[in-house]
Amino acid sequence: MSDLILTEIQNRTLIVRINRLNRKNALTHEMYTAMADAITVAHANDDIRCMLFTGNEECFTAGNDLSEFSAGMPGDFKDSPVGHFLLGLANATKPIVAAVNGPAVGIGTTMLLHCDLVLAGSNTRFQMPFANLGLCPEGGSSLLLPHWLGRVRAAELLMLGGTFTAEDAYRMGLINRICDPLETERTALTLCHQLSAQPPAAIRATKDLLNRSSLKALEATMIAEGGLFAERLKSPEAKEAFKAFAEKRKPDFSSFR
């Protein structure tokens, strides 16, 4: 495992901690591989009954490390580190809980759509700024969000890419509850321990039934999103957005058609 992704087992729960605080937990290919590997470990280990993804009290993740992703996606989406991680999340057989505080940007929001329970600190700020960066939705968000929230609300979140609060996320049904940031992880662990005490086969069957009707469509959407995302990374719009980000200015898309 990467030292930027820390894992430990506590009371049959595999805790996966994003640990790159000096870069606001921005995710690299190496970190995606480590998180995908953690999902594989959880699936294969009968002593693990639940997973918890978390950061710390101040930050979940600022999303993709743009300095790395601006170079493009390595290989096809299905074979890429982020593809392994997202498809692993979608196909996970054991319950997944997330404890989120502070920034939850891009995939920091879309990965939560695949968790079974999500707790967010009152300081959490969600954002899916894909279009703002000249990119497109990922993580199955273009399928799941319209189904859950309605098309117009999903369009607002994905096309305008603005931030929204934990209160907004709770009102939309994207999280289970709002916590004091100092208590988010502890409260999430309590839920993990409750899940781990449940009959494991019954929990797996329940999760399978919850996901069964949409899984094939979700996988197809993820692959389509991933292919287009890789194309968009090479686009002039994305290059302008990444350059503007590096120069700490607002991107200018006025000349694009």
pLDDT more than 70, % of the chain: 100
> How far is the C-alpha of 228 from the C-alpha of 15, rounded, in Å?
32
Q: Residue 111: pLDDT above 70? A: yes
Cα→Cα distances 168→40, 163, 178, Å: 33, 10, 10
Domains of the chain, residue spans: 1-182+200-257
What's the average model confidence in pLDDT over 59-64? 98
Q: What pLDDT was estimated at residue 61?
A: 98
- Residue 24, classed as helix, strand or coil, is coil
3-class SS of residue 244 = helix
Q: Look at residue 36 in the predicted model and tell me its pLDDT.
A: 98
**Residues 242-252: pLDDT tens digits?**
999 999 999 99
Given pLDDT bands bounded at 50, 70 and 90, which one contains residue 85?
very high
Q: What pLDDT does residue 11 have? A: 96
Q: Would the pTM count as exceeding 0.75?
A: yes
Task: Give the residue among 138, 45, 137, 18 at the shortest CA–CA distance from 90.
Answer: 138
Phi-psi sector, 14: left (phi>0), alpha (psi -120 to 50), beta: beta
pLDDT of residue 72: 81
Pick one of 3.40.50.300, 3.90.226.10, 3.30.70.360, 1.10.10.10 as the CATH number of 1-182+200-257. 3.90.226.10
Burial class (CB in 10 A: 0-12, 13-18, 19+), 207: middle
Region 79-107: mean pLDDT is: 98
Question: Who contacts 218 (Cβ-Cβ below 8 Å, separation ≥6)?
Answer: 90, 140, 143, 144, 211
Residue 226 has pLDDT above 80, yes or no: yes
Structure tokens at 30: 């190496």
- What number is the average pLDDT over the span 187-193? 98
Comparing 69-73, 135-139, 155-159, 187-191, the range with the smallest average pLDDT is 69-73
Structure tokens at 149: 């929230």
pLDDT at 1 over 80: no
Residue 179 has a pLDDT of 98
Over residues 163-189, the pLDDT tens digits come to 999 999 999 999 999 999 999 999 999
Q: Which residue has the higher pLDDT, 222 or 70?
A: 222
pLDDT value of position 70: 81
CB of 78 closer than 8 Å to CB of 210: no
